[in-house]
Amino acid sequence: MTLKSYARRLYASIAIYVQERGYSMYLQAHHLQVIERLKERFQDDPRYLALLVGGSLVKGWGSENSDVDILLVVTEEEYARRVASDDLGYLTTDFCDHPGGYVDGKIIDEAFLHDVAQRGSEPARAAFINVQIAFSHLPHLDELLKQIPVYQEQEREQKMHAFYCQVQAYRWFIGEAAKRESVYLMAHATSEMVFYAARLLLAYNRRLYPYHKWLMQAIEEAPEKPANFLPLAEALLKEGSVANAEALWNCVNSFRDWQITDSWGVRFMHDSEWTWRTGQPPLADW
């Protein structure tokens, strides 16, 4: 298959996938050329079972000079060898002709895919949004991938409750920072208040949290949110103050009836201070 025909076929398959799920994408000819070169490098090597393309490009958040993010699925034996040598990353510029271009990859095995489908965190699941198969020797890989970037409905109410209480807690911490003129506490509390307010809105929209780099982009694309959330969040981050915190709190709290009336202090204690007792992962990683 020629590069031109492969690029046309891959682009068409991505376009169909993305259109069905309501996402956008940003892939140019030089990105597709890199993918073709990667395919040629790995598809005939028996250690490599599949090559997946993900990252900002297939989510529509990339740019002309974006790197190409990949996942290389390897055999159990190859994965064990790489774990033993702490070699689970793949970073190279060898396949890229465009300025600043590079390939940033991770090495996983099939068991990883099953694990993330069954119990992956939101950032782990979000990494598979719009992911594309460049090649695969694994049967049923497409069906398995569809199970991963799915919002876990059974967790939604608990998450909204937890995130709402975190917003209240950091609203209080901002007041404490102002009283004490603590630059550190103000910086920390403002960042956390914006973070958990954003997580609350993503949960309400049943949208996966894509980690910090793309958090505001995910909020921008969320269909249901207060119209002034983003400018108020930016104002608080630029200038930590009680007034800006109150403006953001009122924006979020009045957006809907969250139906949460219990003590935020107790919930904050369980979710942030006492998680060591239960082995619960940090709330930020839910």
- Confirm if 103 and 116 have CB atoms less than 8 A apart: no
What token pair was written down for 233? 């969040």
Number of residues assigned to the chain: 286
**Residue 38 neighbours by CB distance under 10 Å:** 23
Contacts of 141 (CB under 8 A, 6+ apart): 50, 113, 133
pLDDT, tens digit only, all 286 positions of the chain? 555 555 555 555 554 444 444 334 667 788 899 999 999 999 999 999 999 999 988 888 877 778 899 999 999 999 999 999 999 999 999 998 888 889 999 999 999 999 999 999 999 999 999 999 999 999 999 999 999 999 999 999 999 999 999 999 999 999 999 999 999 999 999 999 999 999 999 999 999 999 999 999 999 999 999 999 999 999 999 999 999 999 999 999 999 999 998 899 999 999 999 999 988 888 998 8
What was the pLDDT predicted at 28?
79
What was the pLDDT predicted at 12?
52
Handedness of CA 35, 39, 41, 42 (dihedral sign): positive
Instruction: Name the phi and psi angles at 42, rounded to 5.
Output: -110, -25
- Confirm if 90 and 48 have CB atoms less than 8 A apart: no
Strand duo 68-74 + 132-136: pairing: unpaired
CATH 3.30.460.10 fits 3-146, yes or no: yes
User: What is the per-residue DSSP string for 16-54?
Assistant: HHHHHHT------HHHHHHHHHHHHHHTT-TTEEEEEEE
What was the pLDDT predicted at 13?
52
Residues facing 103 on adjacent strands: 68, 92
What was the pLDDT predicted at 45?
97
What was the pLDDT predicted at 19?
42
End-to-end Cα spacing for the chain: 43
What was the pLDDT predicted at 111?
98
**Residue 95 neighbours by CB distance under 10 Å:** 17
Q: Which stretches of the chain are assigned E, i.e. beta strand?
A: 48-54, 68-74, 89-92, 103-109, 132-136
